Structure 1
Amino acid sequence: MVRAVLYARCSTEEESQKDALVQQVKEGEACIKEQDWLLVDRYIESKSGTTTKGRKEYARLYADLLKDKFDVIVIKSQDRLMRNTMDWYLFVDRLVTEQKQLYIYIERKFYTADDALITGIKAILAEDYSRELSKKINNAHRNRQKSGGKVIMTSRVYGFRKLPDKSIALVEEEAAVKRRMYELCAADFGTRTIATILENDGVRKRDGQPFGANDILRIIKNPINKGCAVMGRFHYDFDTKKTIRTSSDEWYVYDHKVPETVSEELWESANENIRKRRSNKKAESSADVSGKNGGKYHLSGKLQCGLCGSPYYRRIRRRYKTGEIIHEWKCRTYLETGRNTGRLDRPQLRRVQLEHVEGCDNVHLDEERLYQLLEKNCLSSYQVDKEKLTRKMISLLKTVLKEQDLQPEIDRVKMQKKQIKEQTKKLVDKLLDGVLSDQVYTEKQKELDERLENIQVQLNRLEKKNNQKSFLKYRILNIEESLKNGDIIEKASVAGMLEEIDRIVVFPTYLELHFNLSKMIGVTDMNLLPESEQDCIRIEYDNLFNYRQGMVEEREQIVQLLKENPDYKAKDIARELGYGLSKTQYRMKVLQEEGKIQFHRDGRTGYWEVLKEGRENH
């Protein structure tokens, strides 16, 4: 039996007319049934046909053309597939190559190679029609905006409702939520904190999901909430198939165009706080990030909190005393709410009592220490042969240089140059002997001069490349030195390991590295792997990232050392434990304040006494 699939498409404008997409699907299914074909799949979408971009069902159909899944594609008409000439020819080429058939049921015929010219013309006409239609729509929008016409707003805009006469009204319950967002922002709460407060109070979006920080930021920045409509900010370009942001001098701004959700004063106050926060954030991270987007990090999307299940995000801060830039990965729940222990909420949230939202007590991961930990594990688990890798890398670089040996080409060009000079000399001799006339000599001489000039240009280019090659030889020596003595291979090994890791689950005292073994070996069914195959590595690190507990342990080490050596000074303890002197002095000061150690002076010297209990119980 012939296997058939159905492709149906309507633009959103067409779909609104008498359920056009539903009707198109019914017609296609009826056609397949009439032909006594087997319907194996449907590709149905509501998208514009001017481009294939964003059309997931068309992309799936285009990919399935390469599979032995069906024999015939059934469509209503050619423009249902696309209105773009190039996309049409790409589709037809794959259709013919894979020996599939296309049946257009409105014409009751199969597409054949003889139809190529006609269908090509149809595609061009359809594309031109769409281009003209796009121009008319853009022009109509521009005229409406210029004359201050109705505000175009979808039904999805939170806080507003479109009435039958196309006017806009407030949804008071939602407007009250937005007012609270503005009030909190004006009171110096950040968008992330506002999101946490709303979640704690059970406030949700229309789809039942909690408001995110970005949702709140978009609402606060939107001037529509103070009744101001800004029209003409974006323009759709048919040829590039992109929505382009227009310059501000092309916008049309109309105050009091829709009902006000908040006053202009409150709107300005909230947005001023947003600007201040953005300015401060830029100042803090300017020493580390170049450009708007620093790019995706190796650990992005891999770190997961083992306590609450949230992802870990990368954050940048400055060390208080030195101003040093520190990169840390922190649990999202902690970033939004703070700690559970002792309800150490984020500073802003301490001003608001949270009852329903929990914090997270997991550790923060110092990026440098984390990479050192992973590097150590990588080298011990995978036995990276540094010397072997260095030899292989240098061998590859030298092979590339050898393949680019330009000396034979330079010698050949030099020989051509020498031959032309000899021809020029012979030409002069023939002129002097009267064999050539002045006119013939001039023409020949001009031809040889042009050839000589071209050859000289070619020779200069080759010699320049050859000089660069000599420089590359010097660079290879430097690269070899860096590979042998630097940590490039170690870092590359960690990066390679991270690519194979599916996720890293973080716990207060250890990490779990989960590997997707099926992905690594190209097996899609994990049941094919033996059950004994390990897909998780556990890395213990005690209190490496638990800084508070780490400080407690460091103080305990000092206490133990003073028990054994009561005459030790701070510099002796620092030397013994490998700490800095200032760090040791600070730890000893804290121990004294806690009543755990006490110094007894005896003339110019003295000794330390370790007290059995703290000051509270002493």
Structure 2
Amino acid sequence: MAKDYAVYARISTDKDEQISSIENQIDICRNWLERSGYEWDDNCIYKDEGISGTLFLERPAIQLILEKARKKEINMVVFKSISRLARDLKDSLEIREVLQGHHVRIISVEEGYDSEKAGKNDMAFELWSLFAAQYSRTLSAGVSAALAAKVRRGEHIGKTPYGYDKEDGKLLINPDEAKTISQIFEWYNQGWGYKRIVKELNSMGISPKSARVWQITSIHRIIHNPLYCGDFVMNQYSNVKIGGHKKQVRNPEEQWIIFRNHHPEIVDRATWEKANNKVEKAERTKITPWNEFRGLAKCAVCGSNMVIVQSWKKKKDGSRSSWQYLKCSQYRRAAQDGCVNHAPIRYGEFRALIINQLQQEGKDLHLNFSSDFEKRRSEDLAVLQKQLQQQKTKKSGLLDLYLEQLIEKNEFEEKRREIDHAINNLEDRIYLLENQHSAESSIRSAKEAFKALDNQEQDLYTAFRNLIKQIVICENGTVDLDLTFR
């Protein structure tokens, strides 16, 4: 039979036992295919390794399969079980809808499910998908219960915090680090701000546990962490799924599980409560400004994101005026110990400069968009195809070395896995480049983005992302703009 099928396998962690299980998944699918009269082809395997089944948009292999289904390049998808396809009911049903909408047969070997035999009233798939989703929730609840049991026994879960060492699962005070913690609380209760504390610690040469220098965020976490007065808090955060991605949200305090006097305290409860009963001016007045260049504007010195900071001035009539500046995020967190202080760059002036430069680039762009994208796509394809051929040649040479007994079997297997991974990655990138729809979408987005620049009063975040790869800002304020359509 023809080999226009796809075999899908997924593992959610990189543990050794799960790495071996992906081979088991493939073997099970291969056995079904060969028994059903299909010719086996290693190139039909699609793997998502170390990715949770609840994260639909972050699984490149399943996305590639769906794209091939839309392009009529496959007519069947085979996988070990529906739990390998997805552990989220909505995602599982969405995948089925796309595949069946393009007349792609679905085979789940373990459940004995075959969409061709299921017919229109397909409750079996929905039930198996529901069981898979429930298993994920049950597993999560079981893990949470096991962790809570460890905490009740006095054990610490998670990273060892600054100020403590961990022995037999329990926290013990680190005398030197504990002095620093006590000093931080003392300074803060005396009226010192986060930035002043950061500067003092860095100037004293005191190092944090797992970073190069102290930052404002690390001091803020220490001050507000009840761990330092002996309490351990569970269930402060939950993971929710938004638009196919997981996001961590803070739970209401009534949902927290607090274990009082769980471990030795570094500061007494009165000191901790005094620090946390302060009304912080920043919390009363701070409104995070909207940054249309977030993720695009980078510091030329350290590569960190440029963020917005605000400066306020109170007028005689009681009103306030404000200015927004771009600053390196590392400098903002750790001052000169983090990075350099860039020349003042007002956000409004910077935005106007970028818009003006983009509009000028648009006027000077004489090449036809379609031919320009096609040329770049062809060049990229040629480079990837050359790299793919090099990897295949390396694989062939590796086999010769093994057959001539110039390398051991373990070394041969390890290097072959590395080469196979590189080949799969290159083949996926080549496929996506060969998909004309992607290029047409990029062209359309660029044209719409140029048109959006004419109305500067609106939010231009999407337009900037479609036209700009990266903006690098130097210490002296000069700007290097890397554009997507160049």
Q: Corresponding residue for 1:112? A: 115
Cα shift at 1:227: 0.9
Cα shift at 1:256: 0.8
2:478 partner SS? strand
Q: Corresponding residue for 1:315? A: 309
Q: Give 1:227's aligned amino acid.
A: G
1:382-531 alignment runs, 5 A limit: 491=456, 498=464, 500-507=467-474, 511-516=478-483, 519-520=484-485
1:262 to 267, 271, 282: 267
Contact 1:503–1:515 (CA under 8 A) maintained in structure 2: yes
1:181-220 alignment runs, 5 A limit: 181-182=184-185, 185-186=188-189, 188-192=191-195, 194=197, 201=205, 203=207, 205-206=209-210, 212-220=215-223
Q: Corresponding residue for 2:326? A: 329
Q: Corresponding residue for 1:124? A: 127
Q: Give 1:81's aligned amino acid.
A: L
| TM-score, normalization by structure 2 | 0.58
Q: Give 2:223's aligned amino acid.
A: I
1:577-588 alignment runs, 5 A limit: none
1:61-76 alignment runs, 5 A limit: 63-65=66-68, 66=70, 73-76=77-80
Q: Give 2:47's aligned amino acid.
A: Y
Contact 1:101–1:110 (CA under 8 A) maintained in structure 2: no
Q: Corresponding residue for 1:226? A: 229
Deviation string 1:419-450 (CA, Å, 9 cap, x unpaired) is xxxxxxxxxxxxxxxxxxxxxxxxxxxxxxxx
2:292 to 298, 303, 328: 298
Deviation string 1:23-68 (CA, Å, 9 cap, x unpaired) is 421312434665462223442455665x445753575455454467
**Residues in 2 aligned to 1:116 and 1:20: alpha-carbon distance in whole angstroms:** 37
Cα shift at 1:364: 0.3
2:159 partner SS? coil
**Residues in 1 aligned to 2:206 and 2:249: alpha-carbon distance in whole angstroms:** 38
Contact 1:229–1:254 (CA under 8 A) maintained in structure 2: yes
Q: Give 2:9's aligned amino acid.
A: Y
Q: Corresponding residue for 1:154? A: 157
Aligned residues: 378
Higher relative contact order (CA 8 A, sep 6+): 2
Q: Give 1:514's aligned amino acid.
A: L
Q: Corresponding residue for 2:346? A: 366
Shift in CA distance, 9/152, structure 1 to aligned 2, threshold 3 Å: farther
**Residues in 2 aligned to 1:71 and 1:330: alpha-carbon distance in whole angstroms:** 53
| TM-score, normalization by structure 1 | 0.47
Cα shift at 1:149: 3.5
Deviation string 1:103-145 (CA, Å, 9 cap, x unpaired) is 44446x6733213579733542552585488479759968997
Q: Give 1:313's aligned amino acid.
A: V
Shift in CA distance, 515/231, structure 1 to aligned 2, threshold 3 Å: closer
**Residues in 2 aligned to 1:302 and 1:264: alpha-carbon distance in whole angstroms:** 44
Deviation string 1:296-325 (CA, Å, 9 cap, x unpaired) is 333444444456655432222123766532
Cα shift at 1:98: 4.0
**Residues in 2 aligned to 1:60 and 1:103: alpha-carbon distance in whole angstroms:** 18
Q: Give 2:10's aligned amino acid.
A: A
Cα shift at 1:9: 3.5
Q: Corresponding residue for 1:87? A: 91
Contact 1:313–1:330 (CA under 8 A) maintained in structure 2: yes
Q: Give 2:117's aligned amino acid.
A: D
Deviation string 1:563-617 (CA, Å, 9 cap, x unpaired) is xxxxxxxxxxxxxxxxxxxxxxxxxxxxxxxxxxxxxxxxxxxxxxxxxxxxxxx
1:258 partner SS? coil
Shift in CA distance, 169/23, structure 1 to aligned 2, threshold 3 Å: farther
Q: Give 2:94's aligned amino acid.
A: L
Contact 1:502–1:515 (CA under 8 A) maintained in structure 2: yes
1:360 partner SS? coil
Shift in CA distance, 161/512, structure 1 to aligned 2, threshold 3 Å: closer
Q: Corresponding residue for 2:428? A: none
2:10 to 8, 11, 15: 8
**Residues in 2 aligned to 1:337 and 1:134: alpha-carbon distance in whole angstroms:** 40
Q: Give 1:491's aligned amino acid.
A: Q
Contact 2:297–2:306 (CA under 8 A) maintained in structure 1: yes
Shift in CA distance, 125/163, structure 1 to aligned 2, threshold 3 Å: farther
Cα shift at 1:101: 4.7
